[in-house]
Amino acid sequence: MLHVLIVDDEPIVRIALREVIPWEQKGCAIVAEASNGQEALRVLQQQRIDMVLVDMQMPKMNGLAFIQELRNRDPEGKIGVIVLSAYSKYEYVRESFLFGALDYLMKNDLEERKVSEVIDKAIAQLRERMDESVRQERETSARLQRIRETWLQQAVRHRGAWPDFMGASEELFAKWMDELEGQLQFFLALRMDRKYMLDHAAEQEQKLRFVLHTVRQVIEGSGYSVYVASMSGLELVILMAMPPMSAMASRNILYDMMNRMMSHLKHYVNVTACLGVSEPIFSGSRWREQYHKAVYLAQHRFFTGKGRLFFPELVDGALKTRNAPAAIPCSRIFSKLEHREEGWREELEAAFKKLSVYREASMEELLLPYKSFLWELERCCRSGPWNEDLLGAETFSGQSLSDKLEMMECIPDIHAWCFELLQKLAVSIQSAQSATTAPDRSSSLVERVRKWIDQHYAEPISLSAASAMVGISENYLSKIFAREWNETFIEYVMRKRVERACQLIGSGMKIYEAAELVGYPNQGHFTRVFKKVMGMTPIEYREQSDKKRERKDKIVHL
């Protein structure tokens, strides 16, 4: 397996290179990423790298300077280099070939077929350079790693005597146990958030592959052994081994490493997850026990909503009770809402406080009072003239409110959502009851909302927040906005943001910086929105702007 390093200061380019090529099918694995030449050189000191894809223009140390330093450290050219270049900077590419670059890719034309041809050619050249014995050793090591991760999966699932499931491989398995003997062994249960259950199977598989790469990159990059196995589409089991040390030292290392892992998953892979970390053990016979403890800790996030990383001591002191969860007084709450009486918030808050103490109830038992509450809410909405405003906005893909409840990640989120639903219902009731007497103020309302968007487009903006600001329902605001402005609320927000992003990119700002300034921290989402509005990607727009600027400069010189 060839180890690949991607070096580019724009996360969107790194993500594109990950997605456009089936690296595993080509016998490669992206084991690290860096945003400039200095970071890349540090990666090369920490782990084995066989191929580098490097951008020419980066802060701190550009691509050409990196290649020069790489050749000083690797004069035999064992590490292959592929250059990433913008259209207007081809002179850097020519110079990079003098230092042994294998090939180049144009960043504005990362089409799968073209990129794949370049990668295949580079892989062939690298394999010719590699010593046969080294290649065999690496391939054997990769096969053994995969076998051990299969054993890990079987071990935590197996219910029989240890290790009956091994059969003919028992001797090889025992050798692995000898290697782990005396090391601190930690089990980690990583669970991707349940919202990814809505993804198609191919999307889940892609996310899981990216998560696997990130886990290995962080832990192996820190110098520790790691074995990772998939337990389901949304769960990984991780076995990590480190040398013996004090409990305080190992805990500090784990805490820093796991937080770094979660940060990388969120910012580079766009995946959120939670981690449960077991106590350290020294014997493989306790694997199954510690794995289930790690799973329990990961699940505990649903009850607390405090962070995404859970150690045993964070949960042991939690308040627990086995009593059945109490019911929410739906009738009284909805009656007060319908008659516009005070006190419904206090009643709902008191009910939620009682429900929060049932830590040992099953998930089905815990969610039952909330499902009953949502069923009553749907019934209340359908009995009045405000059902379209609330239910039409809250349901999606044919799912009911109860279906959406199943996707919620933790109890605090459920409570906040339920309060938001009732607040929307209160606004809808007020709008419906005053519709016959209030004058038509749609034009002035839309103008207020439009000016609000123009002032706050870079901040998180939603139809819900806009409707609350002007005191009308979301459905009514959506209708009058589209009627008055000839485009929907969302389309107007996207257009304003993209227009500002074009100005920033045209002035020379980096694409990811412009995206963040206009309210799109997710680079993939920004690219999709930008292309929908402008008919081209941000990279294509930047190239177009560069060409126009060059033509203007030539005219001025003439």
Round to whole Å and give the CA distance between 301 and 286.
24
Encoding tokens for residue 234?
A: 């949304």
- Of the ranges 241-245, 349-353, 503-507, the best mean pLDDT one: 241-245
Six-digit token pair at 535?
């008919």
Average pLDDT, stretch 359-384? Answer: 73
Q: How far apart are CA 210 and CA 215, in angstroms?
A: 9
The pLDDT assigned to 498 comes to: 92
Residues 9-51 have pLDDT tens digits of 888 888 888 888 888 888 888 888 998 999 999 988 888 888 9
> Would you place residue 321 in the very low, low, confident or very high pLDDT band (cuts 50, 70, 90)?
very low
Q: What type of residue sits at position 553?
A: D
The reported pLDDT for the residue numbered 384 is 55
pLDDT at 57: 84
User: What is the dotted CATH code of the domain comprising 135-314?
Assistant: 3.30.70.270
For the stretch 187-215, pLDDT in tens is 999 988 777 766 677 777 888 888 888 88
Q: What is the pTM of this model?
A: 0.49
With CA atoms as reference, report the closest residue to 63 among 31, 87, 30, 41: 41
| Minimum mean pLDDT range among 397-411, 432-446, 459-473, 492-506 | 432-446
- pLDDT tens-digit map of 290-312: 888 888 787 776 776 655 677 77
Task: Give the count of beta carbons closer than 10 Å to the beta carbon of residue 12.
Answer: 20
CA angle 334, 337, 339 (to 5 degrees): 110
Provide the pLDDT for residue 471: 73
Q: Are 480 and 492 in contact (CB under 8 A)?
A: no
Has residue 427 got a pLDDT over 90? no
- Domain 442-551 in CATH: superfamily? Homeodomain-like (1.10.10.60)
Dihedral sign for Cα atoms in the order 316, 317, 321, 326: negative
Whole-number pLDDT of residue 358:
64
Q: What's the rounded mean pLDDT across residues 335-344?
A: 79
From the options 3.30.460.10, 3.40.50.2300, 1.10.490.10, 3.40.50.300, give the CATH code of 2-130: 3.40.50.2300
Q: Specify the 3-state DSSP secondary structure of 191.
A: strand
In this predicted structure, the answer to whether residue 475 has a pLDDT above a threshold of 60 is yes
* Per-residue pLDDT reduced to its tens digit, 225-274: 899 998 876 788 999 999 999 888 988 899 899 888 888 888 877 888 88
Q: Are strands 273-277 and 184-192 parallel, antiparallel or unpaired?
A: antiparallel
User: What CA–CA distance (Å, rounded) separates 414 from 366?
Assistant: 12
Cα gap 423→333, rounded to integer Å:
12
The CA-based angle 481-483-487, given to 5 degrees, is: 65
Q: In whole angstroms, how far apart are CA 401 and each of 184, 329, 375? A: 45, 18, 8
| CA–CA separation, 509 and 383 (whole Å) | 54
CB 382 within 8 A of CB 304: no
- For residue 318, pLDDT over 50 is answered with no
SS3 of 438, please? coil
DSSP letters of 476-494? HHHHHHHHHHSS-HHHHHH
Question: What's the Cα-to-Cα distance from 462 to each of 291, 446, 474, 509, rounded to whole Å?
Answer: 41, 14, 10, 27
| Cα 558 off chain centre by | 50
Residue ranges of domains in the chain: 2-130, 135-314, 330-434, 442-551
Two tokens at 155?
């071990």
Element (H, E) at 364: helix 363-382
Lowest mean pLDDT among 85-94, 200-209, 484-493: 85-94
Parallel/antiparallel/unpaired status of strands 225-232 and 184-192: unpaired
Kindly give the residue spans of alpha helices, DSSP state H, lying in 518-558: 523-534, 538-557
